[in-house]
Amino acid sequence: MSTSAITPVPFGRRVKRIMADRPLIPLTILLVILVVILQILRPGIVNERWIANTIKFAIPLAILAGCQTMTMLTGGIDLSVGTVATMSAFIMATQIVSQDPAVAFLLAMMPAVLIGLVNGIGVGVFRVHPLIMTLGTSLIGTGCLQVYQRTVIASGAKIPDFLAWLGTGVTSGFPNALLLFVPLAALIVFTLARTGFGRLLYAVGDNERATRLSGVQYWQVITALYITSSVLAGITGLLYIGLIKAPSLSLAEPLVLPSVAAAVIGGTSIFGGRGGYTGTIIGALILTVLTTLLTILQMPEGARRILFGLIVLFVTAAYLRIVEDR
């Protein structure tokens, strides 16, 4: 009786399977490698204080990347999140001077809800491409913010104490921002994995036509999605201004491209239907550590943006190759 030899699986194919089936493993390994390189280049930098500061700056990026993760699951993208975060932060800082904190918060979140509603209707009802729609609302929001800034220039701005405490404070070695981020992250993960709304996001991104034929109201799903994304972006702006403590008309704009990169690195497909928020969180940590590494290497901001763009292209191409080979 003859036995056929078992053909060993090539190493490259095994790596691809791991990346496809368990993306958190290579992402965690990459994060550890970056931390080790950082420690080698600057011995002693990796300590409790550095870890706390890294988490502080990774959290706003991770929340914005959560917006991108949810929209990318449907095959879209939200380029307005930076503008929404900036508007909410700037309005909060200027309204808190003369308004009750609760009133100032409501005023700060109003543009977020409005922009999210407009994005949802534009994409879901009028079928405008998400890239064009969110870019348009981003430009309109920036213009409105510049007009608003002229009306409050005399009254000045103030960073609320509770936002400063939340953004920069540390309690027992843990950043206070975790009090906001952990529930938000848990809610996003639960929503995507365990709720009908989350399953609809995956279904729309995987096969929109089949989802429509099954009776799903596409425009309702998309409208709810973009409103949720904008509200999360508004919350990010309030947290970020507490961290930066300097309101400006471009506060959160530099986070837009890294938020897309974090979602892509975390395994979310820009073509929709595949991905998750846990990987996005690790992607945000990777980019934050990478930013520290590039700062030590004295790489200018322009070069960092080029690198982030190359990361998005490279990782997208890698995941596409994995999907084709499966």
- Interior CA angle at 53 toward 48 and 55, to 5°? 95
| Chain centroid to CA 47 | 26
User: Following CA atoms 120, 140, 142, 112 in sequence, which dihedral angle do they give, to the nearest 10 degrees?
Assistant: -30
SS3 of residue 7 by DSSP: coil
> Does residue 52 contact residue 173 with C-beta atoms inside 8 Å?
yes
pLDDT at residue number 17: 64
> Does residue 233 contact residue 249 with C-beta atoms inside 8 Å?
no
| Chain centroid to CA 293 | 21
Beta bridge partners of 171: 174
Which residue numbers in the chain have pLDDT < 70?
1-21, 320-326
State the amino acid at position 246 in one-letter form: A
CB within 8 Å of 112: residues ≥ 6 apart: 84, 87, 88, 230, 231, 233, 234
CA dist 123 and 77 (Å) reads 11
pLDDT at residue number 1: 47
Which run of H or of E encompasses 175?
A: strand 174-175
State the amino acid at position 129 in one-letter form: H
| DSSP letter string, 18-85 | HHHH-THHHHHHHHHHHHHHHHHHSTT--SHHHHHHHHHHHHHHHHHHHHHHHHHHTT---TTHHHHH
CA count, 13 A, side-chain hemisphere, 82: 20
Beta bridge partners of 174: 171
153: tokens are: 């220039």
User: Following CA atoms 187, 189, 191, 196 in sequence, which dihedral angle do they give, to the nearest 10 degrees?
Assistant: -160
* Diameter of the chain measured on Cα atoms: 93
The correct CATH number of 23-36+53-324 out of 2.40.128, 1.10.3470, 1.10.10, 3.20.20 is 1.10.3470
CB within 8 Å of 208: residues ≥ 6 apart: 75, 218
pLDDT at residue number 134: 98
CA dist 317 and 142 (Å) reads 33
> Does residue 20 contact residue 323 with C-beta atoms inside 8 Å?
yes
